[in-house]
Amino acid sequence: MTHTRGALFDPVFGGSAVAEEVSDHAWVVALLEVEAALSRAASTVGLVTVEHASTVTAVATGLAGPGALDIADLGRRSAAGGNPVIPLVKILRAACAGEGVPASAVHVGATSQDVMDSALMLIARRAGHIVLADLRAAATSGAELARAHRATPMVARTLGQQALPTTFGALAVSWFTGLDDAAVQLDRALSALPVQFGGAAGTLAAVHPHGLDMADALADELGLARQPAPWHTTRTPVAALAAALGVAAGAVAKPATDITAMASTEFGEVAEDAPGGSSAMPHKQNPVAAITARAAARRAPGLVSTVLSSMDHEFARAAGAWHAEWETVTDLLRLSGGAAHRLASSLGGLHVHADAMARNLGITGGLILAERVTGALAAHTDSAREIVTAAAASGVPLDRAPEIIAHLSADELRDLLDPSNYLGHAVDLVDRALASRPARTTGGPA
């Protein structure tokens, strides 16, 4: 059975699909794919025969099958050398020897870091495209909500307080534009993931004079970007990936936080299609998808920090900083992917209660239109701000405050205190944001 890091919690936090791509088995598959590609790349420059490279590929594919290798045993054997490539190469060479392939045809010119780094790039690309697809799905659902509710009035809240009228569509713009931006950044980072091939010390000495050609052939075999030079101690590709995943998690957290608050009993403005219940309170309707998206996203920044703080790789091989990346990046993929998946679920079935939004617009008795009343009153008196501030502090409705109605008629105040008449460019901003969405907003890898 394929092992993942969290069979109990992955479904809760939305990480099931990504978890399969970052599991221990997925790592072994990627490592073997890199080893097979190394032999094929070596065959393109004449260092390995085409027949031997084909056999290595077939044997590696067999070893990558479910249950073919004891992953727990491989892990125990990895401890001595500090990474799983060393014992895996021994297993692969032994298996290939039985097929008449010499040891020299396996792991040609490579060091363990070449295989680990290239395998991590494969894992990141596969898992990353799942994250990307869910980011785009969440963004599209947010855009659909914005379009449907471009003119649905609601209160804008700043610093936890009611501020001015806006529309739910305008709020949803802040959701999908952030998600779209994050998707663009992640797509860029995934497209740039490079092969790593530098040999023992980054000079490709073992395969000179064929090293550069073999590096390019390896990149092409794996479908990774070609490397300008070995980046074994220049960790910007890993850092860029981690940063993009961190931005994605943050972009998810914004709408998840809003939805969680808006679904509260006091607001009652939205509800998830399949809310969660409580083990103790039968009446609860919890926005579980948004809550768990937020929870997964909260764990991402610490992982990004770990990657960024591990960029100081000394000389030609880091002692510890490199090793710290493997699980950190795969955990980051799983959590950002889980957050995006749960948010896509939340937004995809979100119920919008426009009546509750209208009710909440009125609970201040018109005070959220104080700015507009002040502007109108200023045409009649230099004390407009003081008058409106005093009325608001006294609790007297603005359309009944004597110092206000002395200057403004009932009809004027009725118009001034209608939230739908003070939406600014909210509707225009929705239309503009929808028209400006990136051309590619759905789908997975090209």
Residues 273 and 132 in one domain: yes
Rounded mean pLDDT of 227-244?
97
Residues 215 and 332 in one domain: yes
Residues 371 and 393 in one domain: yes
Strand-pairing partners, residue 286, are 276
Answer yes or no: is 439 within a domain: no
Residues 411 and 270 in one domain: no
d(CA 446, CA 129): 10
Instruction: Encode pLDDT of 313-363 as tens digits.
Output: 999 999 999 999 999 999 999 999 999 999 999 999 999 999 999 999 999
What is the pTM (predicted TM-score) of this model?
0.92
Burial of 66 (0-12, 13-18, 19+ CB in 10 A): exposed
Residues 93 and 211 in one domain: yes
Cis peptide before 237 (omega within 30 of 0): no
Answer yes or no: is 443 within a domain: no
Residue type, 432: R
Residues 62 and 184 in one domain: yes
Residues 351 and 375 in one domain: no
Residues 246 and 268 in one domain: yes
Q: How far is CA 27 from the centre of its chain?
A: 21
Each residue of 329-343: b (16+ CB within 10 Å) or e? Answer: bbbbbbbbbbbbbbb
Residues 251 and 382 in one domain: no
Number of domains within the chain: 2
Answer yes or no: is 331 within a domain: yes
Strand-pairing partners, residue 167, are 153
Rounded mean pLDDT of 66-79?
95
Enclosing domain of residue 385: 367-416
CB 287 within 8 A of CB 337: no
Residues 336 and 406 in one domain: no
Instruction: For residue 440, give the nearest of 132, 124, 125, 121 by alpha carbon.
Output: 132
Q: How far is CA 186 from the centre of its chain?
A: 8
Beta strands in 96-172 (DSSP E): 153-158, 161-167
Answer yes or no: is 192 within a domain: yes
Residue 370 CB contacts under 8 Å (≥ 6 apart), including other chains: 388, 389, 392, 398
Instruction: Encode pLDDT of 36-53 as tens digits.
Output: 999 999 999 999 999 999
**CATH number, position 268:** 1.20.200.10
d(CA 278, CA 178): 32
- Structure tokens, 312: 């100081």
Residues 380 and 277 in one domain: no
Answer yes or no: is 6 within a domain: no
* Phi and psi torsions of 352, nearest 5°: -105, 125
- pLDDT confidence tier of residue 3, bands split at 50, 70 and 90: very low
Q: Which residues are catalytic?
A: 278, 317
Max Cα distance, the chain (Å): 102
Whole-number pLDDT of residue 181: 97
- pLDDT confidence tier of residue 2, bands split at 50, 70 and 90: very low
d(CA 30, CA 16): 19
Residues 281 and 397 in one domain: no
